[in-house]
Structures are given as C-alpha cells and as structure tokens.
Structure 1
Amino acid sequence: MSRLKSIKSVPNYLEGKIISEPVHDYIRIKTFEEIESFQVAHIPHFHELLYQFCYITEGSYTIEIESNKYLLAKNTILLLKPGVIHASFEHSKDLQGYIIHFSHDFFSLYASVNNFFKDFMMKDYSVFFLTEQLMDEDAQFFRMIFKEMTNDYKSPEYMKNELLKSFLNILLLKMYESYEIVQHSQSNSAATLFMKFLNLLDIHIRKWNKVSQYAKVLNISTDYLNKIAKQEGNRKAGEIIRDKLVLEAQRELIYTDKNISEIAYQFNFTDTSHFWKVFKKNAGLSPKEYREKFK
C-alpha cells in the first residue's frame, strides 16, 4: 500500500497547494520573506519525490519532523528527504533564509554528486540531516551560493537551469567536504550491501519485519547483515528494522483512523499483542497511548 493511500489525511504540498501527481526535473527557490503560503506549512504535510533544503541566515524557527520538534537556528542547514512528514511552527520575527525544493532527477546528470549524495542519504537511515551551526567561513560561502542561486532562479536567462544544477552540485559537495561525509567506494561490499538493505527496507517494511527476509534477498547470512549494519549504521539490522517499522506505524496512528489491529496486520503481525510489545518497547508508549497523545 502506498503512503499516499495509507496516510490519506496528510497533504502533498507544492508551493502551498495540494498536488495529486509527482513532479520531475523540478527546482524551486524562495526566501522566507517571499513565501506567501507560510501559514500552510503549519499543517503536517510532505513533498513526494522532492528534497527540501532550508538555510537559516537570521533568526530561527521550530519544525516538527515525524512528530519530533527541532529548532533551526541562525547558520544551520536542514535537508529533508522526500516523503518526510513535517510542519513548521513558531518562528522569530527576524527570520531570514532560503528554502529550496528539488527533485533527484533535476541534477541526475551529475554523476559525481550522485555518488556522494546517494551514499550520504542512504548511510544515515534517518529522514533528515541537520548541521550544527556553521563556522563563519562556511556560513559566508553557503550564503553566497544560496544568494547566487536565488538570483539565477529569478533570471529569465534560458541557461539558468544549467547554472542552478551547477550551483546545487557545488552546494551538496561542499556539505560533504565541510562535515567529512566520506564517499564509500563501490568496491566496498559492506557499504554497498548496507545501502541495498536500506533500499529494501524502504520498499518492503510493510511486508517484511525479520532480518532473515532481507538477508535472503541480499544473499548473505543474518549474522553478516547484522555485522555490516553495526559497522555502517552503528546498530544491528533488527534494531534498524524495528525503528523503521515503529516510525511507519506511528504515522498510521497519528494520520489515519485505522484500528490498531488493522495497523498490526498491515505490518505483517498476525498477533496484535506482539505488535503492541514491539511498539511499546521502541516508542515507550503503547499504540493506544501514542495515538491518544496526538489527539
């Protein structure tokens, strides 16, 4: 079952409007001051197939990502993966900065950044990346890049998309350089297998909740999958699977009116009490208590 069908109440927004179809080869750049529909951002929503870049140059604001709140302060950068449910809350009066939405295929011709980008986004199985406060030198560099991209975006020049792709390429690579996100060689079988595992997890989490199911498809033993998960993700494969499963179940509890037994069955639990046990161990609350918390 797709996310759009399973979480019916969560809108897929683009520029403050609900869209029914994914977009391709897309980029949009706005300053916070230019966003007329900022109030819409207070509603939990997601962007299908679009990444979201936020750079705060002045002030601060609070964002909720998958039911957890984070403060975005001056000189911090947030990068959200596609499909992540988020909502903005209170912000300071002096808030300034930039928001960029872009599709993966917008810069897909740039093989160098693709390898870095894929490794970065897949190595960390969380749904977003938030920097610490930038040092002055890095802050000046990022401010310059965002400003140039904004100017080019507004330009009528017919080559502006090529310029924007180049700047986006520079922007992403600079992030890797600044925060020592190291590219793993394709010959590194452990890193490659781990990325394949995370891809499978995104696709099959509603059907598979056992390490053995993923190990079988990867043609490796469960012990080896646990070993590379620990090496590459700092957690055992089973822990990563349970975290992902509980995160998806939390979405269902918050954004749908399905009963708990139905949600348990949806995630391939034949015994609802086992689902309750797994959920409470990870979330600290029973499914019923968790749903009540967000009513």
Structure 2
Amino acid sequence: MNSSATMQLPFQPMLSDEPIQIIRMGGFFNEPSLLPHRHSFYMLYWTTAGTGLHLIGFREYEMLPGRVFFLQQNQVHQVVTYPEDGYMVLFNQMYFQAFLKHNQQMEQTGLFDYFNRSPFVDLDETMMHTFSYIVNMLKEETAKVYNMPLNQHYLSILLLYAGKQHLQSNHFTENSVQADLMRKLKILIEANYKKERFAPFYSEILGLPTRKLNEYAMSNMGIMVQDMVAMRRLAESEALLASTDSSFKTIAYELGFGDSSHLWTFFKKYKGISPSDFRQKYKQINENAQTDKGCI
C-alpha cells in the first residue's frame, strides 16, 4: 500500500532560485495564511516591531519584539497574525548542513531541536544590535553577485548567536556526555519514528542498556524514550489530520500504527481528544484559508 498523505500537505518551496533570502515582514503579505503548511527550507523569524501569533506544530507562540524563531525544514507551522515588522531569513538545506558540519554539537540541540517546546529565543538589547548589523550585512550581500562563502559566514554567525543564547537562557548543558547522547537519540528518532517506537531499538544502536538510556531521557527530557517517539508521531498525526483529507486508515498506515483503531487510541491518550474531533477543529480553517503565492 502506497500512502500519499504526506504529499498532500501544503508545501512551500523557496520563493526564488537563490539559496538564501532575506524578506521584511512589514507589508509583505496582504493577509496571513491560516492553513498549516510545510517548507522545503529552513527559516529564522525575527520580530522587530509589534506582535503576532505563530503556531508551530499546532502550539501557540507569541511573536514579540526581539524574539527569534527557528523553523525546521518540513516542520508544520502557520502564522495566524504577523507582527508590524521584522525579518524572515530563508535558507536551503545546503546552508544548514554546512553550519552543522562545523558545529555538530548544535544539531538537535536547544533552538535547533525538533523536540524543543521553546523553539524561540528572546534577544537582549546588545544581541538585538548585533543581529540587526549581521542581518543588514547579509541582506546587502544577497543583493549582490552570489557569494556563498560570505553568505554562509554571516548566516552561521546568526545561527550561532541565536543557538548559544537559547542554551544560556534555558540552562542547557551544551557539551556534556548526556547532551551528546540525547542529540544522537533525537537524530535516530527523527529518522525512524514511523517504524520503530520502542526503546530497545535505539539503545542497541547507541550501545547502552535500555534502562540507562531511559534514565538519561528522563533526566534530560522529562520523559522516557518511548514517549519521545510518541511525541514525534503525535506531531505528524496532527499535521496529517489537520492538513489532508486522508482517511484515518491511510494516516495510520503512514505512521506505522497498523490500523485506524490503534491511531485512535494513541491520539486520544496523548491529545485528549479523538482524531475526528481534532480534524473537525481545523476543517473550517482549511476550507476558508486563502493561500497566497508568496505565503510563507
């Protein structure tokens, strides 16, 4: 059985052929899109004036002056209301992988962690000035003849500053043995969550007893490995239910539940409502959403 559920999600490509783009929020959209969607690229949202409302994985976050969001490739989100002004920095996978190549400790850590419930950082006044300077330099360079090394340099500085301040603000330990282990675990879960939902699969690959891996997960994440996998499956379930017309059976197959009854039980356990009630909640939004060609 071949499922096309994932492909039915609204999917936004880069707005031009350039691998990195800087866009001002102020006045760019006629109206925000209310339809949850994915991107083929990564993004930084930086609010400089006014407030807005951002949903990432169907969780609400305020867009406040000085607040920077990082959005993963393929991560489901929607901006319900845009702030008065700010910057959106769009960049492709090549740029992000180049950043991680020289900063491996940042992968699936802090701001760049798919499991992170605080996917933003609030810049202090000093960092606001630094961000403003670097973004403007990056904007100037992207308007010139394409210069990948320099553009990559400026983008990496932005990501490093945002990532390190997020770690400091949330009191994360950046280089401990456990932090590195959790980073590797999250990468494994992201690659295997649809098929492998039990801890022994991950503990065997990481070379640890399952009990010890669960202890580390509880210490660092507050939940055990199986629940980490469940949270990732839940996020994908929400996305497919809200943004596709796929049957419960198709979604269950797509996410490795076997049949719709298992999906139903799982969703009700972790979300507190049934899949049909969740889908109905977003049905009117999806029907009324007016997608804009430039919507991101």
Please confirm whether the aligned pair reaches a TM-score higher than 0.5, indicating the same fold.
yes
What is the distance in 2 between the residues matched to 1:151 and 1:34?
20
Q: Is the 8 A contact 1:32 1:98 kept in 2?
A: yes
Give the secondary structure class of the aligned counterpart of 2:39: coil
Deviation, 1:270, is 4.1
CA distance in 2, matches of 1:244, 1:111: 22
- Structure 1 pair 2–63 and aligned structure 2 pair: CA distance change class (3 A): farther
User: Which of 234, 241, 244 matches 1:246?
Assistant: 234
Match 2:247 to one of 239, 256, 259? 259
1:61-72 matches, cutoff 5 A = 61-72=52-63
Distance in structure 1 (CA, Å) of the matches to 2:94 and 2:2: 21
CA distance in 1, matches of 2:96, 2:59: 30
One-letter code aligned to 1:44:
P
1:290 Cα deviation from its structure 2 partner: 1.5
State whether structure 2 residue 161 is matched by structure 1 residue 174.
yes
Q: Give the aligned partner of residue 201 of structure 1.
A: 189
Per the TM alignment, residue 213 of structure 1 is displaced from its structure 2 partner at its CA by: 2.8
CA distance in 2, matches of 1:67, 1:124: 14
2:120 alignment partner, one of 124, 130, 144: 130
How far apart are 1:215 and its partner, in Å?
A: 2.5
Task: Provide, for residues 106-154 of structure 1, a one-character-per-residue CA deviation record: whole Å limited to 9, x for no partner.
Answer: 264557752243152665623872123x322221221221122112221
Distance in 2, matches of 1:28 and 1:238, equals 38
User: 1:282 aligns to what?
Assistant: 270
Give unmatched runs, 5+ long, in structure 1: 18-22
2-structure distance, mates of 1:162, 1:81: 22
Q: Secondary structure at the match of 1:246?
A: helix
1:45-104 alpha-carbon deviations (Å, 9 max, x no partner): 2112x2100111111222222222322011111111110112222235xx1111111124
Aligned partners of 1:124 and 1:255: how far apart in 2? 20
Deviation at residue 34 of structure 1 after TM alignment: 6.9
Distance 1:108 1:266, change over 3 A: closer
Matched-pair contact (CA < 8 Å) for 2:45–2:69: yes
Q: Which residue of 2 aligns with 1:77?
A: 68
In structure 1, the partner of 2:141 is: 152
Q: Which stretch shows the higher mean deviation, 76-85 or 230-239? A: 230-239
Instruction: Measure the CA separation in 1 of the matches of 2:139 and 2:258.
Output: 52
Equivalence map 1:185-224=2 (5 Å): 188=177, 190-224=178-212
1:108-127 to structure 2, matched below 5 A, reads 108-109=97-98, 113-120=102-109, 125-126=115-116
CA RMSD in angstroms comes to 3.0
- State the distance in 2 between where 1:14 and 1:38 align: 19
Distance of aligned partners of 1:266 and 1:255 in 2 relative to their CA distance in 1, 3 Å threshold:
same
Is the contact made by 1:52 and 1:80 (CA closer than 8 Å) also made in structure 2? yes
C-alpha displacement at 1:42, in angstroms?
4.2
In structure 2, C-alpha distance between the alignment counterparts of 1:177 and 1:202, rounded to whole Å? 23
Query: What are the equivalent positions in structure 2 for 1:82-101 lying under 5 Å apart?
Result: 82-92=73-83, 95-101=84-90
How high is the TM-score relative to the length of structure 2? 0.80
Structure 1 residue matching 2:81: 3-state secondary structure: strand
- Shift of the alpha carbon at 1:216? 3.2
CA distance in 2, matches of 1:70, 1:289: 23
For 1:281, give the aligned amino acid: K
